[in-house]
Chains A and B, each alone.
Chain A
C-alpha cells in the first residue's frame, strides 16, 4: 500500500522552514527520500532505517518514528534550490532488501 504524504504542496519564502510527512499503515524497514525537479529524474537525499535514527543533508534532515510508522523531512532555512517535488519511498519488513513504494509527492515552491 502506497505511503501517504502530507501536505500535497507548500509555498515558502527563502529562509523559511517546512516539514513534509510520510505515513504508512505497514511496519516499515526503511524510508528513502528523493527530490525531483521538473523534467528531471528523482535524486536521492537520504535513507532512514528501522531504528528511529535521524539524518541530515545540508540543511535538510529527516527522522523516522518506528512506533508511528512515520517519517518527517525537515527543510530548514529554505533556499531557492530546494524547490521541487519530494517523494518518500518505503520498504516494509517483507521487502527489506530494498523494493520501494512511493508516495504521491509533495510539491515545494521556494520564492525569493
Chain B
C-alpha cells in the first residue's frame, strides 16, 4: 500500500537543464496536485488535475508544465530550470472533500 510515490527524491540541476518529476498514486483518486514549498511560505499550488487528461494552472504555474495521461500518474516538467525553482516539491492526491495525501517530496537544487 504505497499511497503517493514521488521520484526522484533528490536532484541537482544546472541552469537551463530540463527534467521531469513523476508522481504516482495507487488510491484511484481523481484529483492530483503539485505544490512547491519554500521556507516561510507554506505550500503553493503549481498545477492541478481534476481527472485523467485534464490539467489546470494554480498560483505559481510559470516555468512549469504538467501532464496526466493516466489517472494514477501526474508529471511535472521544468523545460529550462532556473535558480528560482530551487525548492521542495510535493505531490498530493485526493478524492472530493477528503484529505489530501502527500508524497515524501522531491528536493530540487538548481545551480
Stretch in contact with the other chain, from A10-18, A62-70, A95-103:
A95-103
* Total residues of chain B contacting the partner, CB 8 A: 25
Asked whether B48 is an interface residue with its Cβ less than 8 Å from the other chain, the reply is yes
Number of inter-chain CB pairs below 8 Å:
56
Known A87-B42, A103-B42, A104-B40; contact A42-B102, beta-carbon cutoff 8 A: yes
* Total residues of chain A contacting the partner, CB 8 A: 23
A70-112: which residues lie under 8 A (CB-CB) from chain B?
Answer: 87, 89, 96-105
Asked whether A20 is an interface residue with its Cβ less than 8 Å from the other chain, the reply is no
With A30-B97, A34-B100, A99-B31 already in contact, 12 other A-B pairs whose C-beta atoms are closer than 8 Å: A2-B42, A32-B100, A41-B105, A44-B101, A87-B43, A96-B97, A99-B45, A99-B48, A101-B45, A101-B59, A102-B43, A104-B41
